[in-house]
A and B are shown apart, each in its own frame.
Chain A
């Protein structure tokens, strides 16, 4: 930690000096909507490279960090180390956190733009893509997003009550989110107890009877969407055997040598695990299966099984065949991707792709293909929901550099004195209010040897703020 304090401290010093010498320079008021990695990395970059800038982050919830808090798995605390860097950004004198204000509801985009020279939209992708197949509405057919939000304490998802009394769970989709769900379902309860997983999830998982977790992908092993780190973690999970279908790996070995390095290494790892084919008495099973596309979900009111169309891959695409496989399942989670929502009618939104229309982060005008100067988009909202935090970081830096280029070229007129949002008009949660919540959560975690016990509802969070 000390190292990072030092690094940012120096940056601050540099900015103070710059401000002193350019005290007559106009200040630039920027507002970022959303406080996840895209928002915070953009704030960091703009504050550092535009010394006369003031940056506000507006967040819908009373708590910051978006998917770092509500998406990253509780057993991956190292990934959350980015919070230390974000916190240093938040302590910058030209930064304000404006929590508990919802753009599109509490304030319109146009009102916001009237207050700032620059508005950067970075509110991510918070709804899940649907399968649109029969039976999707049966009880215990969940989205991975809901399930993840349930164990990570996302407000309003604590009442999800997934039924974990069946033996077999089917996860539709093979991305890292699906692997996270599989890992949480198959981990020993003692390993989960040490994390910041929510108490209600811990309680439910301790009674779980889930023994088999299927991870279903439409294409083959050479197109597998999970990354190698997440796979290796599954292969090392105590009391869990990973079993593959050898029929999925016909002709795969022959192609390994010609693959690019990352694809080659992950394929080799799958083949090695296939050849080991572990089967230990009493162990749970992680069962990745390929070439299967969801067709329909069966059952009375609760899900009982899933029908999967058998596919073949042609030119990297899954082509359905006539054949169908039925897999019994008492829990189904779809995990086929996220989508963004349009929070304000003034936004040029691509409904089909679930993202904002833009070029290099410059949001395009609604009726023309030219940039709407002063309005930008970063992160999943502008790129689509793929990649790891690193991908979002690079995108946030690139968009922020575009903003800085537009300031330097004079495209953004900063000669007016925009006021910034007046927090007094709203029931705002400030950074020091968040620190109160943070402190309380950490204190409450200590009682059960957890890094933190998250507050589960906005009301509870606001109670701490007002206390």
Chain B
């Protein structure tokens, strides 16, 4: 339990200075510290996320710790028309994703006022909606499943 809290603190720190190289090594330190669980190291650096379209289609993708969910969509060329129109600058709501209640509650950072402002303009807004560009992957999120709200594509094909 204590270790879990510690790793959260470190992950949060790492998030704040994601471009700071000295913290990159701190993150690696985190890997070593948690290596004593059953998974090999390589897999641990990657986080698996499943995007579920409104049509039910499931798209599995991998991201790295520190990536946002928008990064995962872009880096994996996931075919979602119009996703991330403002390129993660918190001025649109096209990367709207819907979480399960437990996953939503588990997210380490609560949405900022600015994120909620943009979500207020999103289609199919729910109580567990977030913007993908504001969710940074941590190991805790491995296996995460998020719903992509209905788009014109899903609704019609």
Residues of A within 8 A of B (CB): 3-4, 6-7, 10, 41, 44-45, 48, 76, 78-79, 81-82, 84-85, 227-229, 232, 261-262, 265-266, 388-390, 393-394, 397-398, 401, 405
Contacts and interface: CB of A to CB of B under 8 A. Distances in A.
Contact of B152 (A78, A82, A232, A401): A401
B114 interface: yes
A125 to B, nearest CB: 20
A397 B153 contact: yes
B121 A390 contact: yes
Nearest to A77: B89
**Could you say which interface size class chain B belongs to?**
20 to 34
B120 A397 contact: no
A44 B80 CA distance: 12
A81 B117 contact: no
A229 B91 CA distance: 9
Nearest to B87: A81
Contacts of B118: 229
Given A3-B74, A394-B123, A81 B85 contact: yes
Most central of B71, B74, B86, B90 by chain A CB within 10 Å: B86
B24 interface: no
Contact of A394 (B74, B86, B87, B152): B152
B85 A4 contact: no
B128 to A, nearest CB: 12
B148 interface: no
Contacts of B114: 229, 232
B85 A82 contact: yes
Contacts of B81: 44-45, 48, 397
A81 B94 CA distance: 13
A392 B29 CA distance: 47
B117 A232 contact: yes
B10 interface: no
Contacts of B153: 397, 401
Contact of B85 (A45, A85, A261): A85
Nearest to B91: A78
Q: Which residue of B77, B116, B125, B152 has the most chain A CB atoms within 10 A of its CB atom?
A: B152
Interface string B57-91: 00000000000000100110100011001110111
Contacts of A228: 117, 120
A266 B125 CA distance: 16
B129 to A, nearest CB: 10
Contact of A81 (B86, B121, B125): B86
B151 interface: yes
A388 B85 contact: no
Contacts of A227: 117, 120-121
B138 to A, nearest CB: 21
Given A81-B91, A228-B120, A265-B117, 20 more contacts: A3-B71, A6-B74, A7-B74, A41-B82, A48-B81, A79-B91, A81-B87, A81-B89, A228-B117, A229-B91, A232-B117, A262-B121, A390-B93, A390-B121, A393-B82, A393-B85, A397-B81, A397-B151, A397-B153, A398-B152
B79 to A, nearest CB: 8
Interface in B14-51: none
Most buried by B among A85, A389, A390: A390
B101 interface: no
Contacts of A10: 77
B73 to A, nearest CB: 9
A228 B125 CA distance: 16
B92 interface: yes
Contacts of B151: 394, 397
Closest 8 CB pairs of A and B: A78-B89, A262-B120, A3-B74, A78-B91, A229-B117, A397-B152, A228-B117, A398-B152
A281 B74 CA distance: 49
A390 B94 contact: yes
Interface string B119-157: 011010100000000000000000000000001110010
Contacts of B116: 265
Contacts of B156: 401, 405
Contacts of B85: 81-82, 85, 389-390, 393
Contacts of A6: 74-75, 77
Contact of A82 (B75, B86, B120, B123): B86
Contact of A7 (B77, B113, B117, B152): B77
A398 B156 CA distance: 9
B113 A232 contact: yes
A375 to B, nearest CB: 20
B143 to A, nearest CB: 24
A344 B90 CA distance: 39
B127 to A, nearest CB: 8
Given A85-B85, A394-B152, A76 B91 contact: yes
B134 to A, nearest CB: 14
A232 B152 CA distance: 31
Contact of B120 (A76, A81, A265, A405): A265
A229 B114 CA distance: 7
A229 B82 CA distance: 21
B66 to A, nearest CB: 15
B87 A84 contact: yes
A285 to B, nearest CB: 23
A262 B77 CA distance: 32
B120 A261 contact: yes
